[in-house]
Structure 1
Amino acid sequence: MAKVIGIDLGTTNSCVAIMDGSQPRVIENAEGARTTPSIVAFTNDERLVGQPAKRQAVTNPDNTVFGVKRLVGRRYDDAHLKKDMKNLPFNVINGGNGDAWIEAQGDKFSPAQISAFILQKMKETAEAYIGETVEQAVITVPAYFNDAQRQATKDAGKIAGLEVLRIINEPTAAALAYGLDRKETQTIAVFDLGGGTFDVTILEIDDGLFEVKSTNGDTFLGGEDFDMRIVNYLAEEFKKENGVDLKKDKMALQRLKEAAEKAKIELSSSSQTEINQPFISMDGSSGQPLHLVVKLTRAKLESLVGDLIKASLKPCQAALKDAGLSTGDIDEIVLVGGMTRMPKVVDEVTKFFGKEPNKGVNPDEVVAMGAAIQAGVLQGDVKDVVLLDVTPLSLGIETLGGVFTRLIDRNTTIPTKKSQVFSTAEDSQSAVTIRCFQGEREMAADNKILGQFNLEEIPPAPRGMPQIEVTFDIDANGIVSVGASDKGTGKEQKITIQASGGLSDSDIDAMVKDAEENAESDKDRKELVESRNQAESLIHSTEKSMEEHGDKVDPTTIEAIELAIAALNDELENDDAGKIKSGIQNVTEAAMKLGEAIYKSSQEAEAAGGVDEGAVMDDDILDADFEDLDGDKRG
C-alpha cells in the first residue's frame, strides 16, 4: 500500500513526516535539513523552492515569495493584509476575483499555487526517501483558519498532485504526537506560536482518545510580526543617523528582514547581538557607501515585541472560558512553533498558566509528526487513536435586518450537521437568497461571508408561511457545505461553500496542468544538466588519455576521436539533451579504439616482460628449509 505522508505547511518553514513502524519519522530534504524554508523564487529560467530560493532572496527581492500562508484565502482589501503589504518586497495584486494574488517574473500566481510549489517540494522529499510515488497526504492548517483558508489549502494540495485525505489543525496534530504513547488522562493546552499564525487549543487526552474542548487564535500573529518590529527599529535607527529610508529600497529591505530573523534567533540564547550590514546604502550627496551596525539587546527586543506576546494571551483566556476550565485544570502546556523558543514567550506562558511548559517535543517538527500519525490512522496503520476536533468559528446565515443567526456554534465537535427552519420576509416571495457567514459578531456584515446561493420557485404564500429548512454540514476537514429546501414542495438547493472569490474547478485544473508541465520541464532541465556533466567529464578523460597514450594508436583513430569531441563541444553550445547524448555515444565509440590500443600495447609489454623475468627467476631459485609451529620439518 502506498504511503500517506503528513505535511506541516508552515509560514516560515515546512516539514514532512511518515509513519516508520509505530512511530512518526521526519524526513530530511535534499539539502540534508529536516525543515524546508517556505520560500518560492522565480528567476529568468527556473523556479526555486526552499533553501535555494532563500539564498538568492537579497539579489532577487521582487520575485522571491515568502510568508504566503498569510495570504491564503485572503481578500485583497483585507485590513491586516494591507498593513503587511507595506513591508513586502514582492508585489501583492488583486487577482481579479477580489482575492490577493502575487505577481512575480511577469506572471500572476494565487497563494494556493505558491503553496502548491512548496507542497511539491515536500512530496519530492518524501518520494526520494520512500523510493516510490506519493499521491496522498494529510496537511495541517492553523486551528483558527476559516473555511476559505482551509479550502485554499486543499486546492494547493490538488495543484501539487496530492489527494488531501484530511486537513488537520496544527495544535491537534501536535497533541497527537505528544500524547501518542501516553496512557494517563490529561488536560493539555497547546500553545502554538509559529512564523505567521497563533493558535491555542485545549484538549483532553485519555488512552488514545484526543478530544478538543476549545480552540482560539489569531491568523495574523507570528514570527513575521516579530521580525517586522526589528526591521522597523533598524530602519528608524539608520534613518536617524544617515537620513536614508531603507524601507524604500527592496533589496535593503530584504537584507534587513534576513538580519532581523537571524538576530531574533540569536537573542534566544544570548543577551546581546550585533547586526552588521555593510554597504547597505549610498550617501546621496557624497556617494560614499553607508553601513548599518546596530547592537540589539534581548531587553530591547522584548520591549519592541512585548505587546505581541501579550496579544497571544487573550486567546488563551477565551479558550479556557469556552472549555469551562481554569488554568489550574491544565495538566501540561505543550509549546509549538519556532517563536516559543523566545525566553520572554516562555516566561509569559509560565506566568499565565502558573506552571512550566513541557519541553519534551521539538516545536519545529511535532506538527508534521502529528500529521503523519493522522495519516497512519486513516491508512489503518495506527490503531486505537480517536481524534475529535472542533470548528473554530460559529457558522450561520443572514436573517431579517442583517442579523447573524448561528446554526453551529464555535467549538462544536466535527464532523457535524445542523438544521433550522426559516421563512419568507414578504408576501408571495418566490425566492430566497441564503447568505452564509462565519464569525462571532452579532451582525452578519461584520463576519466573514463564505458564499451565497438562491432557493427559487417557492409557491406564492403569505410571509412567514413557507418553511425553508437550512442545513449546515461540516466535514472532518472543517470544510462547510450548505443546503436549503422548501419543505412544502421538496425543492432543494445545495452547495459546497466556495468563498466569494476563491478558485473555481477550472482554475484548479489549469493550475494542476501547469504544475504537471513545470514538473516535466524541471525533469528535462535536470536531464540536460546531467547530460552536460557527463559530456564534459567524457571529453576531459578522453583528451587526457590521448595526451598520455596517443602515440600507441594510428593517426586516423586520433583524428576520428578529435572530430567526435569537436562535434560534442558544438552540441554543448545548445540546449538539446538528445543531441548531447548522441554526441556522447559517438565520442565513446571513437574512444573505444584508443582503449583497445592501450590495453593491447600493455598486454604485449607484459607478455614480453614476463618471458625475461621467468628466465631470471629460474636461474635464481633457492631451496628453502623452514620449521612449522608444530615442529615438523618441511623442505
Structure 2
Amino acid sequence: MPASFYTRTLTRGNFPMLRDAHLQFEPSDDIVGIDLGFTNSRLAIMEAKVPTLLETESGQAIPSFVAIDDEKSILVGEAAKDHALAYPANGLFAIKTLLGRRFDDPQIQELKTKVPYKIIEGSQGEAWVEACSKKYSPTRILAYILEKLKELAESYCMRSISKAVIAVPVYFSIDQKKQIKRAGEIAGLNVLEIIDEPSAATLSCKNKDTGTFAVFSLGGGTFNITIVEISNGVLEVKAMEYDTSLGGDDFDLVLVKYLVEGIKITHSVDISGNRMAMWRLKDAAEKAKLELSSSDQTSIDVPYLSMEGDTVPIHAKSEFSRSEFEELARPLFWKIRELCLKCLDAADVSVDEVIMVGGMTKVPRIQKIVEEIFKKSPCMMQQPEAAVAIGALLQGFVVEDQWKWKKSDKFVPLSLGIESLGGVFTKVVDRGSEIPAMASRNVATSCDYYDGVCIRIFQGEHIKASMNRHLGDLKLTGLPYAPAGAIYIKLVFHVPSNGVLTVLAKTKDKALEWSTELKDIDEIGEDGVKMMANAAILQRRNVEESLIMHIRSRVEFSIEGIDKLLYTRRKEIPPGPLADYEGKLAELKKKMHIGNLLSLKSLLAEAAWLEEDLIRYRPRQLECMDSDDELYVD
C-alpha cells in the first residue's frame, strides 16, 4: 500500500492497530463507529489505538428494540425486549424497514401482518408507528436507540462521546441517509458520515489493501452481497445484489411456522393470532437457530403458550437437528444462492476473497453455499458481527483526516435509461456504475417525418419502462423531416458527484444539440420509495416477460412496415386483394397485445410472411375475348 495511506498492523484478535507512520498522532477519543442493525446494533470505540467493540452487561449486541410502557417511559435494548414479551403491542422493532417509506408501500403493508405493533399513516402519507396511544416517526425511534448507544459508550469509557460514523445498508437512498443523520443529531451526535455497510466491512479487515472482494452480509433483516475492488487506496463497487426482506428473522419464522402447525395438528388450536405466544415462540426459535450453528441438535421448550379449552395448557416442545432446520429453510438458502450468482455474473470479475459479515454467516449451510459459488473458503472473522461497526469507526478517523484512506463508494443505485419501441426499458448507465458516471448510446427515430421526438428517461431494473421511476423527458425539436430510422441521435448520460443526472442529445452531424438536467437519481419520492422497497424484486426480471416484450416490439415494427408498404402500393393493388391485405393487417393489429410467448412468435411469423407477400405482389394482365378492359387477378 502506498505510504500516503494508513498502515494496519494486526495486534488484537482480527482487528488492526492503526498508526500513521509519519504523523505519530493520538486518535480522538470522542469518535465512535455505529452499526445500526435491523435486529441488533453495535458500537465500536478506540482503546489504546485498538478498535474495540463496546461491551455491556448483556454482551456486545444491543437489541434494536424500543418499548413504551404505560407511563410513557422509553425502554431501549434488552429492557425493551423483555417488556415486549408481556406487552407485544408496545415493543417496536424492524424500524429501519419503515424509514423513508410511505404507508401504502406494499412492503409496509406486508410488514403490518408480521409485527405486533401498530403501523399507521403519518400526516404526509409516510409510515409511522403507534404505541401506548402515542405516535412516533421512525426517525425518532431510531434516535432513542442511538441515544442508548451513546449513553452506554460514555458510561463504559467514562468520557464524553460526540462524533460518530453510522453504517447503513448499501441500498439506502439519500433521503433515508439524511433521516439516519437526523436521528443521530437528535441523539446528541455529530454524524461525520453515513457509510455503506460493505465499505465499512472491507475497511475493518486486515490485509485487504488490494484485490477484489465479495462482501457477504446477512443480518437480522436484510441480505446483501457486494463485490468491491480495492486498488491504490480506492474502493470501487463492481456489483451488488440485495433483498430487503431476507434476514435472520426469516429463518426464525421458518421454525415458528413449523411449531405453530405442530400445535394446530396436536391440539386443534391455532395460536397464530396470540401475539404473546407468537413472540415467545419467536424468541425461542432465535435461540435454537443460534445453537444449531455450533451443534447438530437442539430443542425448543416453551411452556404454557396457550390453553386447549379452559383447562388444558399448551406447551411447545420439539427437537430439531441441523439437517431438519436446513430442509425447512431450503427456500431461503436458495434465494441467497441465486442473488450471489447474479452478483458474480454482473461483476464479471474474479473474486480473491469472500468477507463474511453478520451473525447469520456462522450458519454452516451459509458458509457451504459461499464456498460452492465462489470456489474458495470464506474469510471467517472471529467476530463477523463486529466488522461493520469497526469499519465505521475507522472511517471516522478517515473523515477527521487522521488516516488517508480514499474511498469511492458512491454509485448509481438503479440503472438509468430510456423508453424505446414497445415500451421497453433500454439501459444507458448500468446499476452499480461508480459516480461520477458517463455513458452514451445511439438511437434512431422510429416515426416518419416528425420534426420532434420526446425521449422519456427512467431509473430502475424492470424490462418495462413504465414499471420504473420516471425521471423526466428530453424533448428534441426542430428535427429535419425524414423517414423512420434516417436520423441518428447520440444520447449522453452524465451523473456528477452531486447525483443530479444531465442528459445531452446531439445529431450525428452535431448540427443540433439538446440537453436537460433531471432530478437527483437518489431523490426519494413516492415512486422512488416504492421502487427502492421492491428493488430486489425488480432485479429478478422475468425472462419470459422480457422475451414477450422483445418479440412484441418486433411485431409492432413489422406491422408499421406493412402499413407503410400498403399505403405506398395502394394504387397498384386491385380492390379485392387490397381488402384481403387490409383485413389480414387488421387481424395482426388486433392480436398484437396478446401475452402468450408462443402466440406472439406465431404472430411475428405471420407478420413477416404478410410483409414478404406484399413486397412480392405483382398483378397479372390477362386478355379477355369479349372486352378490351384490363383484368387484374391475384
- Aligned-residue offset at 1:348: 1.7
What code does the residue aligned with 2:433 have? T
CA deviations on 1:323-357 (whole Å, 9 max, x unpaired) are 222xxx33322211111111111122222222221
Equivalent residue in structure 2 for 1:216, among 235, 241, 248: 241
Q: What residue number does 1:39 align with?
A: 65
Q: What residue number does 1:391 align with?
A: 411
Tell me, in whole angstroms, the C-alpha distance in 2 between the residues paired with 1:224 and 1:60: 20
- Cα distance change, pair 433–159 in 1 and its aligned pair in 2 (3 A): farther
SS in 2 for 1:247: coil
Q: What residue number does 2:552 align with?
A: none
Asked if 2 retains the 8 angstrom alpha-carbon contact of 1:472 and 1:480, the reply is no
Tell me, in whole angstroms, the C-alpha distance in 2 between the residues paired with 1:135 and 1:280: 45
Equivalent residue in structure 2 for 1:299, among 312, 317, 323: 323
Tell me, in whole angstroms, the C-alpha distance in 1 between the residues paired with 2:328 and 2:524: 36
Tell me, in whole angstroms, the C-alpha distance in 1 between the residues paired with 2:152 and 2:455: 47
What code does the residue aligned with 2:331 have? D
What code does the residue aligned with 2:166 have? I
Q: Does 1:311 align with 2:335?
A: yes
**Long gaps (5+) in structure 1:** 504-635
Tell me, in whole angstroms, the C-alpha distance in 2 between the residues paired with 1:346 and 1:413: 29
Tell me, in whole angstroms, the C-alpha distance in 1 between the residues paired with 2:527 and 2:317: 45
Q: Does 1:120 align with 2:147?
A: yes
CA deviations on 1:505-542 (whole Å, 9 max, x unpaired) are xxxxxxxxxxxxxxxxxxxxxxxxxxxxxxxxxxxxxx
- Aligned-residue offset at 1:203: 2.4
- Aligned-residue offset at 1:71: 2.7
- Aligned-residue offset at 1:32: 5.6
Asked if 1 retains the 8 angstrom alpha-carbon contact of 2:503 and 2:515, the reply is no
SS in 2 for 1:54: helix
Asked if 2 retains the 8 angstrom alpha-carbon contact of 1:97 and 1:501, the reply is no
Q: What residue number does 1:587 align with?
A: none
- Judging by fraction of residues, say which structure has more helix: 1
Q: What residue number does 1:612 align with?
A: none
Equivalent residue in structure 1 for 2:361, among 333, 336, 340: 340
Tell me, in whole angstroms, the C-alpha distance in 2 between the residues paired with 1:402 and 1:151: 34
Tell me, in whole angstroms, the C-alpha distance in 2 between the residues paired with 1:471 and 1:43: 53
- Aligned-residue offset at 1:24: 2.2
TM alignment of 1:317-466, pairs within 5 A:
317-325=341-349, 329-383=350-404, 385-391=405-411, 393-396=413-416, 404=425, 406=427, 408-416=429-437, 437=459, 439-447=460-468, 449=469
Q: What residue number does 1:200 align with?
A: 225
**Long gaps (5+) in structure 2:** 1-27, 482-486, 506-511, 529-634
What code does the residue aligned with 1:373 have? L
Q: Does 1:248 align with 2:269?
A: no
- Cα distance change, pair 390–41 in 1 and its aligned pair in 2 (3 A): same
SS in 2 for 1:320: helix
Tell me, in whole angstroms, the C-alpha distance in 2 between the residues paired with 1:480 and 1:423: 28
SS in 2 for 1:442: coil
Asked if 2 retains the 8 angstrom alpha-carbon contact of 1:276 and 1:293, the reply is yes
Q: What residue number does 2:194 align with?
A: 167
Equivalent residue in structure 2 for 1:499, among 505, 524, 527: 524
- Cα distance change, pair 416–488 in 1 and its aligned pair in 2 (3 A): closer
Q: What residue number does 1:188 align with?
A: 213
Tell me, in whole angstroms, the C-alpha distance in 1 between the residues paired with 2:60 and 2:396: 19
Tell me, in whole angstroms, the C-alpha distance in 1 between the residues paired with 2:377 and 2:348: 22
Q: Does 1:108 align with 2:129?
A: no
TM alignment of 1:20-99, pairs within 5 A:
20=47, 22-29=49-56, 31=57, 33-44=59-70, 45-99=72-126
Tell me, in whole angstroms, the C-alpha distance in 2 between the residues paired with 1:251 and 1:88: 11
TM alignment of 1:5-24, pairs within 5 A:
5-20=32-47, 22-24=49-51
Between 371-380 and 349-358, the greater mean CA deviation after superposition: 349-358
Tell me, in whole angstroms, the C-alpha distance in 2 between the residues paired with 1:175 and 1:116: 26
SS in 1 for 2:259: helix
Q: Does 1:141 align with 2:141?
A: no
TM-score between both structures, scaled by the size of structure 2: 0.67
Tell me, in whole angstroms, the C-alpha distance in 1 between the residues paired with 2:328 and 2:391: 33
Between the aligned residues of both structures, percent identity stands at 38
What code does the residue aligned with 2:68 have? F
Tell me, in whole angstroms, the C-alpha distance in 1 between the residues paired with 2:237 and 2:518: 32
Asked if 2 retains the 8 angstrom alpha-carbon contact of 1:94 and 1:100, the reply is yes
- Aligned-residue offset at 1:403: 5.5
CA deviations on 1:432-451 (whole Å, 9 max, x unpaired) are 998763x211333323x4x8
Between 90-99 and 145-154, the greater mean CA deviation after superposition: 145-154
- Aligned-residue offset at 1:182: 4.9
- Cα distance change, pair 60–211 in 1 and its aligned pair in 2 (3 A): same
Equivalent residue in structure 1 for 2:183, among 156, 170, 173: 156
CA deviations on 1:457-505 (whole Å, 9 max, x unpaired) are x99978999x999976465xxx8445689999999786685422599xx
Q: What residue number does 1:282 align with?
A: 307
What code does the residue aligned with 1:125 have? L
Tell me, in whole angstroms, the C-alpha distance in 2 between the residues paired with 1:454 and 1:342: 48
Asked if 2 retains the 8 angstrom alpha-carbon contact of 1:5 and 1:375, the reply is yes
- Cα distance change, pair 22–416 in 1 and its aligned pair in 2 (3 A): farther
TM-score between both structures, scaled by the size of structure 1: 0.67
Q: What residue number does 2:615 align with?
A: none
Between 67-76 and 397-406, the greater mean CA deviation after superposition: 397-406
- Cα distance change, pair 443–167 in 1 and its aligned pair in 2 (3 A): farther
Tell me, in whole angstroms, the C-alpha distance in 2 between the residues paired with 1:77 and 1:259: 32
SS in 1 for 2:524: coil
- Aligned-residue offset at 1:415: 5.0
Tell me, in whole angstroms, the C-alpha distance in 2 between the residues paired with 1:407 and 1:161: 43
SS in 1 for 2:235: strand
Asked if 1 retains the 8 angstrom alpha-carbon contact of 2:353 and 2:379, the reply is yes
Asked if 2 retains the 8 angstrom alpha-carbon contact of 1:215 and 1:392, the reply is no
Q: What residue number does 1:257 align with?
A: 282
Tell me, in whole angstroms, the C-alpha distance in 1 between the residues paired with 2:443 and 2:74: 52
Tell me, in whole angstroms, the C-alpha distance in 1 between the residues paired with 2:480 and 2:58: 68
Q: Does 1:225 align with 2:247?
A: no
What code does the residue aligned with 1:93 have? I
Higher radius of gyration, 1 or 2 = 1
CA deviations on 1:11-70 (whole Å, 9 max, x unpaired) are 1111111344654222234x3632211111111230111111111111010010112223
Asked if 2 retains the 8 angstrom alpha-carbon contact of 1:97 and 1:502, the reply is no
- Cα distance change, pair 353–434 in 1 and its aligned pair in 2 (3 A): closer
- Cα distance change, pair 311–149 in 1 and its aligned pair in 2 (3 A): farther
- Aligned-residue offset at 1:206: 4.5
Tell me, in whole angstroms, the C-alpha distance in 1 between the residues paired with 2:119 and 2:446: 42
Q: What residue number does 1:619 align with?
A: none
SS in 1 for 2:135: strand
